[in-house]
Structure 1
Amino acid sequence: PEQKKTVWTKQNKGVDARNAKDKYIEEVESNVLARSREQLEKKAKIYEAMRSGHIQQEYSEYDDDEKAPLIDFDKKYLQERQLEEIREETERKLKKRRQEKEAEDVDDPWVEYEDEFGRTRTVRQSQLPKLLPEEKTKSEEDDYIPRYDYEIGDELADISHINHYDADAEIRTKGVGFYRFSKDEEEREEQMAKLNKLRQETENARKSAISAAAKRQQMMARNAEKIRARKAALQARKQHPLKQEPNNVSIPDINEESVASFLQSMRKQVE
Structure 2
Amino acid sequence: MHDAGQATPARNTPTAISASILALSAEVARRKEAADKRKAASTGGPVFIPSTKTFKKPKPVQNKGVEARAAIDHAIYEKEHIYDRPDVADERVYLELKRKAELYELRKTLNADSDSLDAPAKDDNDNELVDFVQKRHDEQESGHRADHGPVIKSLQESDWVEFIDEFNRKRLVRKSQLPAMGLKFVTGTGVVDSSHSGPDLVSRHMSHEQERQQWEAEAVAASQSEYVATNTLPHFDYKRENRQMGVGFYAFSQDEAERRKQREELLQIRANTLMAQKVAVAIKAAKQKRIEDRRKMIAERAIRRKRLREHGVLPSSYNSSSMQVQDDEGDALDLVRLMRFKYEQT
Sort the TM-score into its range (normalised by shorter chain): 0.3 to 0.5
TM-score, normalised to structure 2, is 0.28
Higher relative contact order (CA 8 A, sep 6+): 1
TM-score, normalised to structure 1, is 0.35
